Amino acid sequence: MYLLFLALLALPSGQAASPGHSWGYSGSKGEESWPKNYEFCGGVYQSPVDFHQNILQYDSTLQPIKLSGYNVSSTDSFTLSNNGHTVQMSLVPTMKIEIEPFHYTASQLHLHWGQKSTPKGSEHCIEGKRFAGEVHVVHYNSDKYADLSTAMKESDGLAVLGILIEVGSFNPTFEKIISQIQNIRFKNQKIQIAGFGVRELLPERLDEYYRYEGSLTTPPCYPSVLWTVFRNPVIISEEQLIALETALYCTDSNSSEPVEMTNNYRQLQSHGERLVSVSFREGLVLTIALACLLAVLVIMAFTCLLIRTKRSSRKPSDNRNVAYTVAAGVEENTSKV
């Protein structure tokens, strides 16, 4: 965290004034070019990362994520918008999470996805596996900061929940978003939708997650995010995923060169010195499997040894029989001479 603080102190004064630069995920404005206009994108503590054994450490102090106000009433409303990079849903400030020692107020959620022909578009990966998509629920530290834009520049400013998406059965809660995206196909279009229980977009288990210090995954890539990525994905149907992958455009409705909104995920970033804390014992299943394998091998080795011992204990009497037969044969032959 101290390094993060130093990194943010090093922010050139002009940096915050560059949100006007356009950026994308491919071509000349793709992520390779982000650091030119957004210095932090080429810096440290960047996200997303891959969660693999070498950098994971179990932390028994990690508590289940505490949500409050997540079951939003249908009398409230959310604004669903196409911002040219993703579909984003504004949230209500009564939605909060607590990650000790701070409370964080929800601001918005948005999604990342791939494309129909390559339906792999999550940002975080587990053991190199990229999932179909990912939801980010963005919160700011409301104990310390007045709003999201102030907090996002501070090392302890943001807390984002990452939810991996996998394909399976139809998801009625996701449908509340997906059924509306036809109305916001083009950049800057927005629509009001009725409030609903955002809790239902999260996996059932809130106690199993990866935790690390990282960044916004889009420009300006500020290293100000305390990441919580849940271990278990949520499931949506293939039809729902295809709707997400094919309905939206990065360009506005007047554009003569429409650009499809696909593959809006950032490549994996270096861990550097960072470790990722895990709230669950990642290796437990593997350990049990290895223990079972070892037990089977020991039993097999013991059985082989037993068989060999039995065989070798039978050999002397066999030899005696052979010797007797040979001797008898010799005697027979001798009598013939």
Residues that bind Zn ion (CB under 5 A): 136
**Closest by CA position to 168, among listed 101, 118, 70, 235:** 235
In angstroms, rounded to a whole number, what is the distance separating the alpha carbons of residues 282 and 285? 7
Is 224 within 8 Å of 215 (Cβ atoms)? yes
Of 177, 161, 201, 186, whose CA–CA distance to 78 is shortest? 177
Q: Is residue 79 helix, strand or coil? A: strand
Q: Closest separation between CB of residue 302 and Zn ion, Å?
A: 55
- Closest distance to Zn ion from the beta carbon of 236 (Å): 17
Task: Kindly tell me which of 136 and 176 has the beta carbon lying closer to Zn ion.
Answer: 136
- Nearer Cβ to Zn ion (123/156): 123
Whole-angstrom distance, CA of residue 1 vs CA of residue 11? 16
Query: Toward Zn ion, which CB reaches closer, 217 or 282?
Result: 217
Residues serving a catalytic function are 85
Q: Which is nearer to Zn ion, 87 or 184 (CB)?
A: 87
**Residue 71: both structure tokens together:** 């079951």
Q: Smallest distance, Å, CB 113 to Zn ion?
A: 11
Question: Least Å distance between CB 116 and Zn ion?
Answer: 21
Question: Least distance from C-beta 181 to Zn ion, angstroms?
Answer: 17
- Burial of residue 180 (number of CB atoms within 10 Å: 0-12, 13-18, 19+): middle
Tell me the C-alpha distance between 97 and 105, whole Å: 7
CA–CA gap between residue 52 and residue 72 (Å, rounded): 35
Cβ proximity to Zn ion, 43 vs 121, nearer residue: 121
